């Protein structure tokens, strides 16, 4: 992974917004749709605002959160509120937002509804922007089947999932 240094927070926000917009454009061009997951909090607000000014076919972009608190959108701690106020404005207004929180009183009660909403996202996600507590922001991009890394990653994940599945204890059906 390469490390980049920027003269200001505004320069970082602009560079990240440009990189994310390029990846979203690529997703729209290749598949007719693109998807983005972002972390919340106050730190990404300059990035959200810079991204909201990028010109692309936002009507074909779906956005969700990588993390959220189970609070109403009206709550000051709501990441959904921040996305609506700082990202889903300007050029990005036509984007489709898929929130993680619904009207259920607890995350457990709302899980099925949240999963159903997320299931409708265009997959794989084209870009995930995560907050890394020590280094700042990390931009992850979609790995295409043509990438040299794809085959190795696919094989390792498949092997790990097979191993995890084989290690699941089997219930004692029919035993009293």
Q: What is the CATH number of the domain that holds 101?
A: 3.40.50.1360
Task: Decide if 2 is inside a domain.
Answer: no
Number of residues written out for the chain: 176
**Strands of the 34-38 sheet, one edge to the other:** 96-98, 61-65, 34-38, 127-132, 136-141
What is the tens place of the pLDDT at every residue in 123-148?
Answer: 888 888 877 655 454 445 554 556 55
- Pairing assessment for the beta strands 96-98 and 34-38 based on DSSP bridges: unpaired
Report how many domains make up the chain.
Answer: 1
Task: Decide if 48 is inside a domain.
Answer: yes
52 with 82: CB under 8 angstroms? no
pLDDT value at position 137? 47
Q: Low-confidence residues of the chain, pLDDT below 70?
A: 1-2, 132-176
pLDDT value at position 78? 94
Q: Find the DSSP H helices in 9-78.
A: 9-31, 45-52
pLDDT value at position 147? 56
Find the helix or strand (DSSP H, E) in which 129 lies: strand 127-132
CA atoms within 13 A on the CB side of 73: 13
Task: Decide if 32 is inside a domain.
Answer: yes
29 with 1: CB under 8 angstroms? no
Across the chain, mean pLDDT equals 82
Task: Decide if 3 is inside a domain.
Answer: no
* Its pTM surpasses 0.95: no
What letter does residue 59 receive in the DSSP assignment?
G
Least Cα distance to 72 among 80, 63, 64, 82 occurs for 80
**Enclosing domain of residue 34:** 9-145
């Amino acid at each position: 992974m390469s490390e980049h240094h920027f003269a200001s927070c505004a320069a970082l926000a602009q560079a990240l917004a440009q990189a994310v917009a390029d990846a979203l454009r690529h997703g729209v061009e290749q598949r007719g749709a693109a998807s983005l997951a972002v972390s919340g909090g106050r730190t990404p607000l300059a990035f959200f605002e810079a991204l909201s000014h990028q010109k692309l076919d936002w009507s074909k972009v779906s956005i969700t959160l990588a993390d959220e608190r189970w609070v109403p959108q009206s709550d000051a701690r709501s990441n959904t509120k921040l996305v609506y106020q700082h990202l889903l404005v300007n050029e990005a207004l036509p984007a489709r937002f898929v929130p993680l929180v619904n009207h259920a009183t607890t995350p457990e009660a709302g899980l099925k509804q949240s999963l159903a909403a997320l299931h409708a996202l265009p997959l794989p996600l084209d870009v995930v922007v995560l907050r890394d507590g020590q280094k700042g922001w990390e931009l992850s991009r979609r790995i295409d089947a043509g990438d040299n890394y794809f085959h190795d990653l696919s094989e390792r994940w498949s092997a790990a999932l097979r191993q995890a599945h084989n290690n699941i204890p089997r219930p004692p059906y029919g035993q009293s």
